[in-house]
Structure 1
Amino acid sequence: MPNQKRKWKVSYLGKWLLERVVVPSLLKILEGLVLIFPPVALKRLAFSLGDLIYHLPFFDPQLAKTQWMNIMGEKDGKVVNRHIQQVFHHFALSFMEVVLLKKKGERVLEDLVEKVEGEEFLKKALSQGRGVILLTAHLGNWEVLGAWLGSQGYPTATLVRSPSVPAIRRFMEELRSVMKLEMVERTNLLPVRSLLQEGKILGVLADQYALKGVTCDFLGQKTLSPATPAVFHLRLGSPIIPAFIVRQGEEMKHQITFLPPLDWPLTASYQENIVRGTALCNQILGEFILRYPEQWNWFHRRWRD
């Protein structure tokens, strides 16, 4: 029993130091560096940080590797390791871009967003006056997508789950304020109806496991998936517009793509309509994820028994 108490105290102390000292200090350092380093140097720094995190003993990438192997069908461990290391590079660079965006504001978007396709689908959907459900994923740098929408004057809210680490929570709140985005907690969907009825955009990252979701295929395997887009589309008639942002190569350049509104044949069963709509959302998300697998969040446990 004394050993267990000692281990608990050490674990608690380590967690406290990480959340209260290490993370805030690292954020301050990075916020300072983005103001003085050119993009080429920031890219190199991001890749170095990605490599460092990949090799840290307390960060186990095994979940990401296992999910990659199951979905992508790759069995060669060395090849999988290279892909997951590229995933680390992408997310480290994405975080550096987010810090840059927070410190310098929307003026950096002209450099970060190289091309936008399909914006006419978004404009036409908004013209219907029922708001828009923007379907997207933890793919590319989705925070830059939100920032771009805000910079173009689109009234946008996004469903979020507040980080448990105070420093990161404050950082994200300040970032989304700079991005001109409203935040709606996933645990309280009451404001969603009024937001859509006011003609606003609701951004939904619908690619992660949802305990209260519906069961359907995601990347070829059955799992619980968020039904939020399908539910609000059926209740309010708000169009679902898929939107994705993907990195161009390994550069700090991105392309945003909007797709036509989703539609599916309805049945007499409301629940079946939700399942069909969610399955269609998953299909579209999956197609983009498989095109750019090194830019997706494989660290989330997407499939659970």
Structure 2
Amino acid sequence: MSNLKDGATYRLYAFGWGVVKRLPERTAYRLFERVADRVWAKQGKGVTQLERNLARVLGPEATPEDIRRVSKQAMRNYLRYWCDTFRLETWSQERIDATFPLDGQDILDKEFAAGKGVVLALPHMGNWDHAGAWAANHFGGFTTVAERLKPERLFERFLAYRESIGMEVLPLTGGQNTFLGLVRRLKAGGVVCLVTERDLTARGVPVRFFGETTKLPAGSAALAVSTGAALMPVTLWYEAGYQQAKVHPKIEVPAEGTREQKIAAMCQALVDVFAQGIAEHPADWHMLQKLWLADLDPAKAPKPAAE
């Protein structure tokens, strides 16, 4: 059964790369929007979890109708991400650059020119592959880390796709010492990009995120502490005909404290910036998985207030 499921999953993605990128553009995006609306209307596990996540973002004043309205647009944006991704290989570099206005490029270029390396940390917002294609051209390449997917053929297809648009991809697990590989790139003055608000290792740093506890991967902060590279948060969101991005000022390494304390403080500062960007553009946050400890472990859910 597992092999059948893996084969079906691979064929679905292969269809995306092989067929969707050849469709007329308006047809492709309308198709994906209709699929998004159907998935949203069915209220499956992913959409239900998305709405639980968005309820934290929107706050206690949000009505169920508010949450449903935002989640519908969020699903459209998520499927737009996939349509973009399947078609990105057909875009010229001119189109990639023209549809990626970047607020804060001056501070990013200044840090890159310093030669100490740059760590760009992103949440799951907008289209990080589009951002990666822009960055690969702008910096002459960069390094990232990818979760090893199943089936293996799908992971290899994503690896080949991302390498084709200029990314160097290191596997999160099952390969070389990934952290040391990233350290070497940064010490050579390179750029590392990490999508980093979801802990996939169970070794994350506890942080407060929209008023509740979750864990943030320590990698981006640890790299900055270890190498002196600039840790710079990036947030992404969709506008009508393009993707907007913002590079935020670098997060400084605290002057005092142990290495672990410095990393923890930087992780909290990083997630605070993410929270600001997500709150401003909640429909552009593609988080359909459990994230907070209260969802991952119901025993850690807050106790009801005493009456």
* TM-score normalised by the chain length of structure 1: 0.85
1:25 aligns with 2:11: no
Matches within 5 A, 1:282-293: 282-293=271-282
> Matched residues in 1 for 2:141 and 2:13: separation?
32
Structure 2 counterpart of 1:118, from 104, 112, 115: 104
* AA aligned opposite 1:225: L
1:88 alignment partner AA:
M
Q: Which moved more, 1:116-125 or 1:53-62?
A: 53-62
Q: Distance in 1 between matches of 2:260 and 2:6?
A: 44
In the alignment, is the contact (CA less than 8 A) between 1:63 and 1:299 conserved in 2? yes
Q: Confirm or deny that 1:244 pairs with 2:230.
A: no
Report whether the alignment pairs 1:103 with 2:90. Answer: yes
Equivalent residue number for residue 269 of structure 2 = 280
For residues 57 and 260 of structure 1, do their structure 2 counterparts lie closer, same or farther at Cα, with a shift above 3 Å needed? closer
> Is 1:225 matched up with 2:216?
yes
Correspondence for 1:67: 53
> Match of 1:298?
287
Instruction: Among all aligned residue pairs of Structure 1 and Structure 2, give the percentage whose two residues are the same amino acid.
Output: 17
Cα offset for 1:129?
1.7
Residue of structure 2 equivalent to 1:6 = none
Residues 168 and 128 of structure 1: is their aligned pair in 2 closer, same or farther, counting only changes over 3 Å? Answer: same
2:303 — aligned with what?
Answer: none
Q: RMSD of the alignment, in Å?
A: 2.3
- Cα drift, residue 259 of structure 1: 2.1
The answer (yes or no) to whether the contact 1:209–1:301 under 8 Å persists in 2 is: no
Give the whole-Å Cα distance in 2 for the aligned partners of 1:299 and 1:65: 8
Q: Residue in 2 aligned with 1:182?
A: 168
C-alpha deviation, 1:171, in angstroms: 3.7
Which residues of structure 1 form unaligned runs of 5+? 1-8
Contact 2:20 2:28 in 1 (8 A): no
State how far apart, in whole Å, the 2-side matches of 1:70 and 1:243 are.
21
Unaligned runs of 5+ in 2: 298-307
Question: Which residue does 2:80 correspond to in 1?
Answer: 93
Paired residue type of 2:236: I
> Superposed, which structure 2 residues align to 1:92-241 within 5 Å?
92-113=79-100, 115-166=101-152, 168-187=154-173, 188-210=178-200, 211-241=202-232
Conserved 8 A contact 2:118-2:230 = yes
- Residue 301 of structure 2 corresponds to none
Q: Distance in 2 between matches of 1:218 and 1:292?
A: 16
Tell me the amino acid that sits aligned with residue 204 of structure 1.
Answer: L
Q: Structure 2 length normalisation: TM-score? A: 0.85
User: For 1:284 and 1:257, how far apart are their aligned partners in 2?
Assistant: 11
Deviation at 1:17, TM superposition (A): 5.0
- Which of 200, 219, 242 pairs up with 1:253? 242
Aligned partner of residue 91 in structure 2, secondary structure: helix
The DSSP-based 3-state class of the residue aligned with 2:135 is helix
C-alpha distance in 2, partners of 1:161/1:13?
A: 20
Matched position secondary structure for 1:288: helix
Amino acid at match of 1:266: A
- Equivalence for 2:33: 47
Deviation at 1:189?
Answer: 2.0
164-173 or 210-219, larger mean C-alpha shift: 164-173
Shift of 1:59: 5.3
Worse overlay, 203-212 or 283-292: 203-212
Q: Does residue 77 of the first structure (1) align with residue 59 of the second (2)?
A: no
User: Cα distance, 1:134 vs. partner?
Assistant: 0.8
Paired amino acid for 1:86: Q
Could you list the per-position Cα deviations for residues 66-112 of structure 1 after superposition, in whole angstroms to 9, with x for gaps in the alignment?
22223322553333222111111001111111122123353431442
* 1:20 to partner: Cα distance: 4.4
2:95 maps to a residue whose letter is V
Instruction: State the aligned residue count.
Output: 288
CA distance in 2, matches of 1:203, 1:23: 24
- Cα distance in 2 for partners of 1:276, 1:50 equals 38
Residue identity opposite 2:75 in structure 1: F
Quote the offset at 1:143 in angstroms.
1.0
